[in-house]
């Protein structure tokens, strides 16, 4: 018999809402594969920015806190997922960013089994990003790019969440709380909806 396709969970939310943190916890608890779309793009851009015109442009876009081209992003995700044929589940961190990307994902890859929206106040997002910027050196953790990331998120979030709501696929969680509280809600949702 053919093997069932992996369960797919998408984690969305503003910059600093805890997408990476919670995605890794899900992957660990359920034995799922973890795919960070931001990280895929950052790695690729660092590797190719000096030798390739397309990627040097994308590096500039990402460093400014804007969104990379949709087709490139989907292609990267597709390539990554194709390397994970034996996964029982895949957690995708930080995708989609807008309705057009959501449609394209469904069209080219699959309909997700669950979408988790980490709803976080603007104040909290800023605090967390500032703190992380002091500890790590992500190219887009500078004040100007952070503003753009927040603004882009604000502009796209409402229609995106509504889109998944209409399909009955999304759960919205209060992500202002501490990591463990948020994760406890997420794992309850995953237990309920996926198993």
User: Which residue, judged by CB position, is nearest to Mg ion in the bound state?
Assistant: 20
Q: Are 116 and 189 in contact (CB under 8 A)?
A: yes
Using CB under 6 A as the binding rule, whether residue 28 contacts ligand UP5 is answered as: no
Partner that binds at residue 41, options ligand UP5, Mg ion, none, CB closer than 5 to 8 Å by kind: ligand UP5
Q: How far is the CB of 123 from ligand UP5 (least distance, A)?
A: 12
């994970």: which residue's tokens?
Answer: 84
Partner that binds at residue 49, options ligand UP5, Mg ion, none, CB closer than 5 to 8 Å by kind: none
DSSP string of 57-116, one letter each residue: HHHHHHHTTPPPPHHHHHHHHHHHHHT-TT-SEEEEES---SHHHHHHHHHHT---SEEE
Candidates 120, 31, 162; CA nearest to 84 is 31
Residues β-bridged to residue 8: 90
> Which window, 2-10, 79-87, 162-170, 175-183, contacts ligand UP5 (CB under 6 A)?
175-183
The H helix count followed by the E strand count for the chain is 8, 5
Neighbour tally for 125: CB within 10 Å: 22
Residues β-bridged to residue 91: 9, 34
Q: How far is the CB of 164 from ligand UP5 (least distance, A)?
A: 15
Task: List contacts with Mg ion (CB under 5 A).
Answer: 19-20
> Which window, 12-20, 47-55, 105-113, 158-166, contacts ligand UP5 (CB under 6 A)?
12-20
What is the helix (H) or strand (E) element at residue 2, kind and residue range? none
Single residue of 57, 67, 110, 119 touching ligand UP5 by CB under 6 A: 67
Using CB under 6 A as the binding rule, whether residue 41 contacts ligand UP5 is answered as: yes
Using CB under 6 A as the binding rule, whether residue 112 contacts ligand UP5 is answered as: no
- By the criterion CB under 6 A, which residues form the site for ligand UP5? 13, 15-21, 37-38, 41, 62, 65-68, 73, 94-95, 97, 128, 131-132, 140, 149, 178-179, 182
């Amino acid at each position: 018999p053919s093997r069932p396709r992996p369960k797919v969970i998408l984690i969305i939310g503003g910059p600093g809402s805890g997408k990476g943190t919670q995605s890794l916890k899900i992957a660990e608890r359920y034995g799922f594969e973890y795919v960070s779309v931001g990280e895929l793009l950052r790695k690729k851009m660092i590797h190719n920015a000096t030798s390739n015109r397309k990627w040097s442009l994308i590096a500039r876009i990402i460093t400014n806190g804007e969104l990379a081209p949709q087709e490139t992003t989907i292609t990267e995700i597709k390539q990554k997922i194709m390397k994970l044929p034996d996964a029982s589940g895949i957690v995708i961190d930080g995708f989609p960013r807008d309705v057009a990307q959501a449609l394209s994902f469904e069209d080219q890859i699959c309909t997700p089994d669950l979408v988790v929206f980490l709803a976080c106040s603007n104040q909290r997002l800023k605090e967390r990003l500032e703190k992380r910027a002091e500890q790590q050196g992500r190219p887009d953790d500078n004040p100007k790019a952070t503003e753009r990331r927040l603004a882009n998120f604000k502009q796209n979030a409402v229609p995106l969440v509504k889109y998944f709501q209409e399909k009955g696929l999304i759960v919205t969680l209060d992500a202002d709380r501490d990591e463990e509280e948020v994760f406890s809600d997420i794992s309850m949702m995953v237990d309920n909806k996926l198993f």
